[in-house]
Amino acid sequence: MIFDIDNTLVMHGAPADERARELFCRLEGLGLKTCLLSNNKERRVKPFADAVGSPYIFKADKPR
């Protein structure tokens, strides 16, 4: 499953909260793979990805 971060999982600029961490834990428990896809810079995306245990792509140039 592919997720955006800002204004999707959390408010813009917010860190991974308990709700986001629980979601990714549940998805992993169901055997689903996740990926964070963001237009933001790595300094924003990496800490969030580390907190939820998901691979990520930063500067994704969405929606292209």
Average pLDDT in the 18-24 region? Answer: 98
Q: Domain segments of the chain: what residues?
A: 2-57
pLDDT in the model for residue 21: 98
pLDDT in the model for residue 64: 84
pLDDT in the model for residue 44: 98
Average pLDDT in the 31-36 region? Answer: 98
Residue from 52, 3, 45, 49 nearest 24 by CA: 52
